[in-house]
Amino acid sequence: MPPALQALLDKAWEARRAAFGDAIEWVNPVRTAVLSVTGTACALGCAHCGGHYLKHMIPIDRWPEVAADEGVKSCLVSGGCDLRGRVPVAAHMDALTELAARFRLNLHLGLADEADVARLAALRPVVSFDLVADDATVREVYGLDRPAADFVSTYSLLRRYVRVVPHVCIGLRGGEPSGELEALQALARLGADAIIFIVFVPTPGTRYASRKPPALEKAVEVIARARLMFPETPIYLGCMRPRGAYREALDALAVRAGVNRIVVPSPRARGEAESLGLSAKWREECCAL
């Protein structure tokens, strides 16, 4: 590891320890049902996803089955985007109202309109929002003819109505730098209750299938810099990240970089936390909740 990165990790760890003590959380979200409001359809067919991750979600019209499942404690409601980058969640208010009466909701809305956000706010959801702060990344990944400023302004809009948890995808543009630090600077201006990092995963059948994940050292550097920029803000490592040896190394280094929560942590991360004297607690719902 380069000495400069090691020094950065040491500073990040000191900041994390000072603010949060010896606690860390592991997440296995088995109590959160994942529903799609569009089935497997998505008008954008983004370069990193191509609708692949919609295939394993429960269609929204099967919500009564979810409501009857005693093992479910919360719902993540997502779906594909329209050509403006919006997920049409608000079109399903009847189903969402029924679900909100039973469960906590985490919604993916995309570049939502204010009228829809205002309606959905009555359900008291958490909203997970992918914050992108680089124009070239927006064009290449999403194929949207919209500036990154629209993502920043949507995040600001959401904060006026609901609890919103920003997601920053490291290496979103096919493993290349994607405006991650600019996204963090926007969050520093606008505020964040928590920050979730995910990491680009090369996915078969997508336009980025042949790409590689971002360099491990670069990914860890982003997380460590975030910890120093936001010393008292919870920082999580979310479910979307590469598997195998990359994940083993990333998870352990993320502990060193000061994260508070990791979804399905690798054995190496759990060992690293133990060696650092951290006390771990397990959670069973989506990390944004």
Q: What are the residue ranges spanned by the domains of the chain? A: 1-29+166-282
Residue 104: phi and psi, rounded to 5, are -75, 145
For 34-49, what is the mean pLDDT?
A: 98
For 123-144, what is the mean pLDDT?
A: 98
Helices (H) and strands (E) in the chain, counts: 10, 11
Whether the per-residue pLDDT at 143 is higher than 90: the answer is yes
pLDDT digits (tens, 9 = 90+) for 230-251: 999 999 999 999 999 999 999 9
How far apart are alpha carbons 64 and 33 in whole angstroms? 12
For 267-287, what is the mean pLDDT?
A: 98
Dihedral angle, C-alpha 212, 216, 221, 222, nearest 10 °: 40
The predicted pLDDT at position 246 comes to: 98
The predicted pLDDT at position 80 comes to: 98
Task: Confirm if 137 and 172 have CB atoms less than 8 A apart.
Answer: yes
Whether the per-residue pLDDT at 62 is higher than 90: the answer is yes
User: Amino acid identity, residue 256?
Assistant: R
**DSSP letters spanning 23-61:** EEEEE--TTEEEEESSTT--SS--TTTTTGGGTTSEEGG
Task: Confirm if 279 and 255 have CB atoms less than 8 A apart.
Answer: no
Give CB contacts under 8 A, 24+ apart, made by 213-217.
213/171, 213/175, 213/242, 213/246, 214/170, 214/171, 214/175, 214/176, 214/177, 216/246, 216/249, 216/250, 216/253, 217/1, 217/2, 217/5
For 69-87, what is the mean pLDDT?
A: 98
Which CATH topology does 1-29+166-282 take? TIM Barrel (3.20.20)
Q: Would you give the DSSP letter of residue 230? A: S
